[in-house]
Structure 1
Amino acid sequence: MTQEQFSKYSFLLDRTARKVKQYAQQKFKLGDFGITVDQWLVLKNLSENELLSQSELAQLVFKDQPTLTRIIDILCKKSYVTRVPHPQDRRSFQLVLTEEGLAKVSELRPLVAGIREKAWKNLDQQDFEEFKRILNTIYTNLEDNG
């Protein structure tokens, strides 16, 4: 692949990722979801995993510690998340969804699925398999740290 082709494909990938996030943020705002896309990612991941530490959650949502701390602080103020002392490490906490947080995830899950469906419209199963293969290859290429 030439440098020019590589540049075009990288641009398309970046442009598409930004467009998906912008579209989702717009729908969250217009739908008056009461949270941001990043806050949703935290709530969704907490609903799918029990007792995550902040560092484990940071890896799942691809956020640095200071950014994630701000998101968690907001979600705690909204009573969607609570910090509980870690049983083996007094210096750290585990994050847990509250009843309000669980209710918020249940309320928003179908709405978020609708947002996703808009992006995936006109794609078939073969498209998804090829897309998944390509994205996993790119990810694996970059995991090697070399």
Structure 2
Amino acid sequence: MDKLNDIIFYNIEKAIKTYRMFAMKRIRDNNYKITTDQWLIIKSILENPDITQQEIAKNVFKDNASVTRIIELMVKSNYVTREENASDRRKSNLKVTKEGEAIIENVNDLVIENRKIALKGITQEELNITSSTLKKIIANCN
């Protein structure tokens, strides 16, 4: 039987969780009032203005209920607004506010720095191979 540390999927998950904890600590240490999940959701909305909550959930690998809770917190923080969808009252359109845009802009340099620290000592060739390998795993599982 394989040991956990020898299982590629265990190491992928461990790397992701370690990076998220590292990034969140640095965001808190710099007194930003945003979580990594909130950052991901705001970025999804900014990149896809007509995105639905279901599409956001798929983009950020969260269930719909979690995304609904996160969006509610962001509405309270004035990072996004919900507007009634004119064609379907059951849906709402999400819009990033000026405060939401500002927090993304403010955190951007820290996000770039976090990535740089996490990827220290890794060559572009290694990143390309890793990316290619992960895309093949994704394709195999779809």
- Whether TM exceeds 0.5 here: the answer is yes
Aligned to 2:61: 62
Aligned to 1:17: 16
- Post-superposition offset of 1:68: 0.5
Distance in 1 of aligned mates of 2:139 and 2:31? 37
Instruction: Give the aligned partner of residue 4 of structure 1.
Output: 2
| 2:103 paired residue number | 104
What is the correspondence of 1:7-86 to structure 2 with a 5 Å cutoff?
Answer: 8-86=7-85
- In structure 2, C-alpha distance between the alignment counterparts of 1:69 and 1:10, rounded to whole Å: 28
Q: Tell me which residue corresponds to 1:90.
A: 89
* Conserved 8 A contact 2:79-2:96: yes
Distance 1:92 1:78 in 2: 21
Deviation of 1:5 (Å): 7.7
Shift of 1:88: 2.5
SS of equivalent residue, structure 2 residue 141: helix
What amino acid is aligned across from residue 47 of structure 1 in structure 2? L
RMSD: 1.7
Q: Is the 8 A contact 1:47 1:105 kept in 2?
A: no
Structure 1: where are the runs of 5+ without partners?
none
> What TM-score comes out, normalization by structure 2 length?
0.91
Which range is displaced more, 86-95 or 96-105? 86-95
The alignment-based identity, stated in percent, is: 30
Matches within 5 A, 1:102-141: 102-141=101-140
What TM-score do the two structures reach when normalised by structure 1?
0.89
Q: The residue matched to 2:45 in structure 1 has which SS? A: helix
Instruction: Report if aligned partners of 1:52, 1:96 keep a CA contact under 8 Å in 2.
Output: no
Q: Which runs of 5+ in 2 are unaligned?
A: none
Pairs aligned (count): 141
Say which SS state the counterpart of residue 96 (structure 1) adopts: strand
